[in-house]
Amino acid sequence: MDMKVAKKKLGLKEKYRLMTRDLGWEPTYRAKDEVFPYVNYEGIKVHDWDKWEDPFRLTMDSYWKYQAEKERKFYAIIDAHAQNNGHLNITDARYLSALKIFLQAISPGEYAAHKGFARVGREFPGVGTQVACQMQAIDEIRHAQTQIHALSNYNKYYDGFHAFADARDRIWYTSVARSFFDDAMSAGPFEFMIAIGFSFEYVLTNLLFVPFMSGAAYNGDMATVTFGFSAQSDEARHMTLGLECIKFMLEQDPDNLPIVQGWLDKWFWRGFRVLGLVSTMMDYMLPKRVMSWREAWEIYGVENGGALFKDLARYGVRPPKGWDDAEKAIDHMSHQFMLGLYQWSFGTSFHSWIPSDEDMDWLSAKYPTTFDKYYRPRWDHIRKLAVAGTPFKNFGLAKLCQTCQLPVVFTEPDDATMSCHRETEYKGEKYHFCSDGCQHIFDNEPEKYVQAWLPMPSLFQELNGDIGAWMNWVGLRDGEDNGDYSGSRDQRNFDQWRGMATSNT
Amino acid sequence: MQIDLRTVSIQPLRQTFDHLARRFGDKPASRYQEGGYDIQAAENLHYKPTWDPDQELYDAKITKIVMQDWYALKDPRQFYYSTYTLARARQQDATESNFAFVESRGLADMLPPAVRETALKLLVPLRHAAWGANQNNTLICGYGYSTIFTQPCMYHAMDNLGIAQYLSRLGLLLGDTEALDEGKAAWLEDSAWQPLRRYVEDTLVLRDPFEAFVAQNVALDGLLYPLVYARIVDDTLSAQGGSAVAMLTQFMTDWFDETKKWVDAVLKVAAAESDNNRAVLQDWIRAWSTRAASALLPVVEIALGAQADDAVGEQLADFRARIQKTGITL
CA dist., res. A215 & res. B68, Å (int): 42
Burial per residue of B263-291, b for 16 or more beta-carbon CB atoms within 10 angstroms, e otherwise = bbbbbbbbbebeeebbebbbebbbebbeb
B291, part of any domain: yes
**How much is the pLDDT for A211?**
84
Contact: A23, B130; criterion CB under 8 Å = yes
Contacts of B35 in chain A (CB under 8 A): 144-145, 148-149
Contacts of B201 in chain A (CB under 8 A): 27-30, 35
CATH superfamily to which A62-353+392-396+466-502 belongs: Ribonucleotide Reductase, subunit A (1.10.620.20)
> Which one of A13, A23, A39, A274 makes the best mutation probe of the B interface by having the most chain B beta carbons within 10 Å?
A23
CA dist., res. B182 & res. B124, Å (int): 9
CA dist., res. B142 & res. B62, Å (int): 12
B92, part of any domain: yes
Confirm whether the ipTM is greater than 0.95.
Answer: yes
CA dist., res. A292 & res. A301, Å (int): 13
Delimit the domains of chain A by residue range.
62-353+392-396+466-502
One-letter amino acid at B153 equals C
Cβ neighbours, 10 Å, residue B236: 17
Instruction: Tell me which residues of chain B have a pLDDT lower than 70.
Output: 1-8
Cβ neighbours, 10 Å, residue B106: 9
Cβ neighbours, 10 Å, residue B186: 21
Residue of A nearest to B48 (CA): A186
pLDDT tens digits in sequence order for chain A, 505 residues long: 445 444 677 888 999 999 999 999 999 999 999 999 999 999 999 999 999 988 889 999 999 999 999 999 999 999 999 999 999 999 999 999 999 999 999 999 999 999 999 999 999 999 999 999 999 999 999 999 999 999 999 999 999 999 999 999 999 999 999 999 999 999 999 999 999 999 988 888 888 888 888 999 999 999 999 999 899 889 999 999 999 999 999 999 999 999 999 999 999 999 999 988 889 999 999 999 999 999 999 999 899 888 999 999 999 999 999 999 999 999 999 999 999 999 999 999 999 999 999 999 999 999 999 999 999 999 999 999 999 998 888 777 678 999 999 998 899 999 999 999 999 999 999 999 999 999 999 999 999 999 999 887 767 676 777 888 989 999 999 999 999 999 999 999 999 999 887 777 6
Could you list the residue range(s) of the whole structural domain that residue B260 is in? 80-324
CA dist., res. B211 & res. B284, Å (int): 7
Residue of B nearest to A27 (CA): B201
**Neighbouring residues of B254: CB distance < 8 A, sequence distance ≥ 6:** B91
Number of domains present in the structure of chain B: 1
B293, part of any domain: yes
B202, part of any domain: yes
Contact: B35, A71; criterion CB under 8 Å = no
Question: Nearest CA to A337 among A390, A410, A282?
Answer: A410
CATH of the domain at B180: 1.10.620.20
Nearest to B197 among A29, A38, A185 (CB): A29
Burial per residue of B165-176, b for 16 or more beta-carbon CB atoms within 10 angstroms, e otherwise = bbbbbbbbbbbe
Nearest to B18 among A63, A115, A475 (CB): A475
Contacts of A178 in chain B (CB under 8 A): 41, 44, 46
B166, part of any domain: yes
**How much is the pLDDT for A466?**
84
Least Cα separation, residue A67 to chain B (angstroms): 7
**How much is the pLDDT for A88?**
94
**How much is the pLDDT for A2?**
47
CA dist., res. A439 & res. B155, Å (int): 41
B63, part of any domain: no
CA dist., res. B46 & res. B35, Å (int): 24
CA dist., res. A267 & res. A261, Å (int): 10
Q: Decide if A96 contacts A490 (C-beta within 8 A).
A: yes
CA dist., res. A186 & res. B68, Å (int): 25
**How much is the pLDDT for A499?**
87
**How much is the pLDDT for B186?**
98
Contact: B169, A7; criterion CB under 8 Å = no
